[in-house]
Amino acid sequence: MSVPPLKALPLELLRQRSSTKWRSYGDDVIPMFVAETDFPLAPAITAALARAVEIGDTGYTPPRPGIDLDFADFAERRWGWRPDPARIRWTGDVMMGVVEVLRAVTSPGDRVVVTPPVYPPFYDTVEEAGAVVERVPLRDTGERWELDLDGIAAALASGAKAVLLCNPHNPTGTVHTRESLAELARIAARYGASVVSDEIHAPLTFAPAVFTPFLDAAPEAAEVGYAVTSASKTYNLAGLKCAVIVTGSDENAAVVRTLPWEVEWRAGLFGVIANRAAFAAESDAWLEQLLVALDDNRRLLAELLAEHLPLARYRVPEAGFLAWVDVSAYGWGDNPAPYVRREAKVALHHGPLFGAEGVGHVRINVGCDPDVLREAIRRIGALVE
């Protein structure tokens, strides 16, 4: 039996939201920049939050909130990998977790490898941890992007102490293969480096691509790795603060336990409640409908670009709802997004913020109603007619 796509909420309702996506620009602009989606919450999340409000459950997050078991169950159902709940901790969001782990595994001035084009907060997070960014861009094979393992090995051989991995990768939507992740783990082990893997987009992997948790990629991954993730991207919960930090060895779990006690306190109670409901089996059917909707939209975007912006270059992503599009052929400058927003009234994410590789690029959020996507690309296409 085929799964029907999840339906986005109508625009008139979405514009009543008070989040960044809907309050950054006027109602004449279609917002497709920040990673918020336009779908209703999974019913289990709505019910859990409504019950909490009903009984005034708005206090402090408990010392054992239960999300360790819930995430372990979710990971086992989705990826056939069950992390040890005793090696799962929690914090406010993924970037909070990343910066705290980087502080624990590096010293001030150490170099940390990032793989641009990559999520802009990666650069800030490395600096916040007191480290220095070492750029090793993704390799473009002509068919897909992949980790430059030779480049990463060279960086670690010359003294870099950690790799900040995006798995799956934002903005390209690349799902790194088990083989490449296993080799990355072996390289890191060879040089005594750590790998911190942001896996927030993992539940949004489209078949036939297969998501591999970094900690499960190879025996060495458990020695060198830390994974940080959350339900927030998949289930649109960014405003409800909660993420998990996962390790695969007693030694690395001990490192996480040395983090300041307030790292766990930063997880908000509503964030924990919502994440637990998202990771519960009763939300799986909602996720399957979401994946159908996003799969349709990532392919629809290819059709729309071919019709309205035929010189644009776009590789259909293997995961997520974010599309990385090269529009440099249209001469809209190194950073096309401001021009597009001003002239077409469509707000896209600024390509150069993802690194020098983003010059001439935009990132488009396709987590919306197909008609909204059609109108946005039609507006942009009118700029070249």
Q: What is the pLDDT of residues 325-344, one digit of tens each?
A: 999 999 999 999 999 999 99
Burial of 52 (0-12, 13-18, 19+ CB in 10 A): middle
Read off the pLDDT of residues 5-63 as tens digits, 9 standing for 90 and up: 999 999 999 999 999 999 999 999 999 999 999 999 999 999 999 999 999 999 999 99
Q: Each residue of 245-284: pLDDT tens digit?
A: 999 999 999 999 999 999 999 999 999 999 999 999 999 9
Q: At what angle do helices 370-381 and 336-344 cross, to 10 degrees?
A: 100
Cα gap 243→229, rounded to integer Å = 6
What percentage of the chain's residues is helix, strand, coil (to nearest 5)?
45, 15, 40
How confident is the model over 370-383, as pLDDT tens digits?
Answer: 999 999 999 999 99
Q: Which tokens belong to 181?
A: 């992740």
pLDDT in tens, 206-218: 999 999 999 999 9
pLDDT tens per residue, range 101-110: 999 999 999 9
Instruction: Determine the pLDDT at residue 323.
Output: 98
Output the CA–CA distances (angstroms, integers) from residue 176 to 58, 108, 211, 218, 286, in the order listed: 39, 29, 7, 14, 25
Q: Could you tell me if residue 130 is left (phi over 0), alpha (psi between -120 and 50 degrees) or otherwise beta?
A: left
**Predicted confidence band of residue 361 (pLDDT cuts 50, 70, 90):** very high
Report which of 211, 230, 239, 212 is spatially closest to residue 276, judged by C-alpha positions.
230
**Percent of residues, the chain, with pLDDT higher than 90:** 99
User: What is the rounded CA–CA span in Å between residue 370 and residue 56?
Assistant: 38
